[in-house]
Amino acid sequence: MPVNRPLYNQLMRLRTQMAFAAQNIYNSWEQDEQGMDAELGGGGICDEISRAVGDVVVRNIRNADTTEGGQEGDDHSWLVVYNQQEAYGVDIPCHIYEKGGGYSWQKMQGVHFSPNDIAIWEVPHPEPGW
């Protein structure tokens, strides 16, 4: 990784806010005894967590863009944050807050996100040639 990583440093400083945003999503997730949520059905909340983390980034880092990470058909949604010089994956791994797969996820009870739950790693730039 390059020595000068301003975007990475900014993301690291936002981990507390990201964890707080994710906690709000997790706290509002309600499943019945069959594992169904009124809005999400049997799906998990990784898409909502990724969007909440992205909102924190967009509100706090002016020169950063976001896009979805992963590939078509992945069971888990995560975020790519980038500017002209840097690109990083940003995620809270789903095994921390839910279990299952596909469209059958179960909420893990008693989860409390911390800044250390936010994974940040270098990824290929989503716009080749930058």
The pTM of the full predicted model, rounded to 2 decimals, is: 0.90
Q: How far apart are CA 90 and CA 120, in angstroms?
A: 5
Of 82, 109, 81, which is closest to residue 96 (Cα–Cα)? 109
57 in Cβ contact with 14 (< 8 Å): yes
Which pLDDT belongs to residue 43? 79
Rounded mean pLDDT, 71-79: 78
For residue 109, the SS3 value is coil
Task: Give 2's pLDDT tier (boundaries 50, 70, 90).
Answer: very low
Tokens of 11: 């993301």
85 in Cβ contact with 122 (< 8 Å): no
Q: How far apart are CA 24 and CA 27, in angstroms?
A: 5
